[in-house]
Structure 1
Amino acid sequence: MQRSMPADRDIQKDGHFVASLGKAMTLLEAFAPERSRMGLTELSAATGLDRSSVQRLVTTFTRLGYLDKDPTTRRYSPSIRMTELANAYFWSQELVHTAMPKLIDLHQSLGETINFSRIDGPDIVYIVRLPSARTSFGASIVGRRVPALNTSSGRVMLSRLGAETRRRCVEEWPMRRFTPATVMDRGAVSALVEAAAETGYSIAENEVQMNELGVAVAVGRDPQTGGAIHCSVSGTAWTRERLEAEIIPPLLDAANGVG
């Protein structure tokens, strides 16, 4: 998901902000699943930068090794070196280190998809993904962003914040329809968040993918820096009642073990 550049007035207030670097990062962030390879014209349209600026930036990133250029199509794509940035992030996150053994145990014992995510702005970002045999490629990629209000992980993490913060986020954060069953009514989403605050878990049914049940529990002592463990199962093989009986207890135990 592309992030926009800060407003000019915000930049002017901060004398330490490097505008040229901000533009460079806007270019890198323009690449997305639906825009994995782009030429200069496409990059200019995606970023709002003029073509000459885009040319200088892609030349710099290509020479530094962060972009690859196809010699035939002359399109650019992120290079394998980009993974080094993600690698540095993972090594710096103690909560991820602590959670990983619990995630592996859950994956092995349940035999279902296990994810670990965090909130970043109004989205959740998948940090760890341990897929099952039925998991699609797109649902197995680390770094994928999804609107927090449309996911069980986002709702359970949001439920740990103060009541006024929860209310404001539900009112203001963007949502996206993934399936006909995606809950788009903000009153209904608010009720789901409040239910998660009561129970300690949140369930989503057919909301991001049809024939999928997902349940999430929050982890970490600090709700601002914590995360969520999420398990998704086939809606054709599992019922909500079975999910509550067989999946939620081990997820809650794992969350308590992480701390």
Structure 2
Amino acid sequence: MRIRKVIPGDARPARSAPGGEEAARDPQFVEAIARGFTILEAFTTRDSMLGNQEIAERSGLPRPTISRLTHTLTRLGYLEYLPRFAKYQLGIAAVALGQLALANMAVRGVARPLMEALSQRLGASVSLGRRDRLSMLYVEHAQPASAVALQLGLGSRLPLAVTAMGRAYYAVAQAEERAAIDQQIEERFPERWARVRDALHEAVDMHAALGFTISIGDWNREVHAAGAAIILPDGGIAAFNCGAPAFMLDRDRVLREAGPGVSEMARRVLSIASGKG
């Protein structure tokens, strides 16, 4: 029997109501649409059923607004109401959108066998993610056959600033995108900004010098990981991480094995995606 070590993954804190900062900066920003997506984003793999009050707490929206939006989203098929629990879950229309988005990411098919090989070789979890504002969203995942593994998977959402994958993404992003990320982090977490900024700048230097970044307990003290990112032929960024519980993957092993391993894998993915390998 496999025993998995459960690591907190994609539970999200309550957020402020959408539209404020975005609408102030962009007159074409449609707040009503943003509110609808904010409700959909309240659901996670760990909390797949939510009631109106729970959605209100997570989204920062008032309860009457939540009731109207959940009703509308249910009518459209993006939510499904479960009378037995008096709660909602994501509907088939939301699932179809997600599957279509994943199907359009050709890099997943290229990366999958290489991710599996690295995962089994190091006994660590290997994931591919794309940026979603200040988070990284797992779009592909390979799990080792070992008895202990991180309880994360497809659809997990991790903070960009303190994870190896997020730092790797930041390291290869254009200066304009990095500046926008900086501004968003500083506005949202002013008390932590100085420390986060220093860590991100160190990640840029490390990725340039070694081809990977690290997170040694920065996101979760029980998790160590290395990350690497590549700019795809279409201009998009694919970020990878290779991580495991800290007792299995100490700092030395991260620097000696996981970092070089995920960096080489990322370069191989880029070579294949570019038609060179």
TM-score normalised by length of structure 1: 0.77
Which range moves more in the overlay, 202-211 or 41-50? 41-50
Are positions 1:116 and 2:116 aligned together?
no
CA contact (8 A) 1:5 1:22 kept: yes
Greater alpha carbon shift after TM alignment, 30-39 vs 244-253: 30-39
Report the 3-state secondary structure (helix = DSSP H, G, I; strand = E; otherwise coil) of the residue aligned with 1:159: helix
Separation (CA, whole Å) in 2 of partners of 1:249 and 1:199: 8
User: How far apart, CA to CA, are the structure 1 residues paired with 2:183 and 2:74?
Assistant: 42
Pick from 184, 190, 195: which aligns with 2:201? Answer: 190
Give the share of equivalent positions with the same residue, in percent.
Answer: 23
Query: Do the aligned partners of 2:128 and 2:138 also contact (CA within 8 Å) in 1?
Result: yes
1:220 to 226, 231, 246: 231
Among candidates 27, 33, 37, match of residue 13 of structure 1: 27
Any conservation in 2 of the 1:30–1:43 contact (CA below 8 Å)? yes
Distance in 1 between residues matched to 2:211 and 2:234, nearest whole Å: 13
Q: Which runs of 5+ in 1 are unaligned?
A: 177-182
Structure with larger RCO (C-alpha < 8 A, sep 6+): 2
Over aligned residue pairs, what C-alpha RMSD do you find?
3.4
* Aligned residue among 221, 228, 241 for 1:230: 241
Residues 1:130 and 1:186: Cα distance change in structure 2 (over 3 Å): same
Residue in 1 that maps onto 2:74: 62
Q: CA deviation at 1:117?
A: 1.2
Say if 1:172 and 1:224 are closer, same or farther in 2 by CA, change over 3 A.
farther
Find the residue that maps to 2:214 and give its secondary structure.
Answer: strand
Distance 2:204 2:26 in 1: 38
2-side partners of 1:241 and 1:223: how far apart? 35
- Deviations 1:76-124 (Å, cap 9, x if unpaired)? 2224553222111111112223222221222233332111112222222
Query: Relative to structure 2, which stretch is displaced further, 163-172 or 231-240?
Result: 163-172
2:149 is matched with 135
- Residue in structure 1 matched with residue 213 of structure 2 by the alignment: 202
Q: How far apart are residue 153 of structure 1 and its match?
A: 1.2
**1:160 aligned residue:** 172
CA deviation vs aligned residue, 1:114-150 (integer Å, no higher than 9, x gap): 111122222222211223342343x22x223222110
Distance 1:156 1:210 in 2: 19
Query: What's the counterpart of residue 267 of structure 2?
Result: 256
Matched to 2:237, the amino acid is G
- Counterpart pick for 1:243 among 245, 254, 260: 254
Which secondary structure does the structure 1 equivalent of 2:161 belong to? helix
Indicate if the aligned counterparts of 1:30 and 1:47 stay in contact, CA closer than 8 A. Answer: no
Deviation at 1:158, TM superposition (A): 1.3
- Paired residues for 1:31-46 under 5 Å: 31-32=43-44, 36-44=48-56, 46=59
**Cα deviation 1:203-234 (Å, max 9, x = unaligned):** 11122233332011112346961112211133
CA distance in 1, matches of 2:25, 2:202: 38
Using the alignment, how far apart are the partners of 1:61 and 1:37 within structure 2?
Answer: 15
Measure the CA separation in 2 of the matches of 1:162 and 1:57: 36
Whichever residue aligns with residue 193 of structure 1, its letter is V
Q: 1:162 to 1:27 in 2, by over 3 A?
A: closer
Distance of 2:56 and 2:247 partners within structure 1? 44
Q: Distance in 2 between matches of 1:38 and 1:240?
A: 39
Quickly say closer, same or farther: Cα 1:54–1:219, change in 2 above 3 A: same
Q: CA shift at 1:19, angstroms?
A: 5.2
**Aligned CA distance change for structure 1 residues 57 and 189 (closer, same or farther; 3 Å):** closer
Q: 1:19 to 1:257 in 2, by over 3 A?
A: same
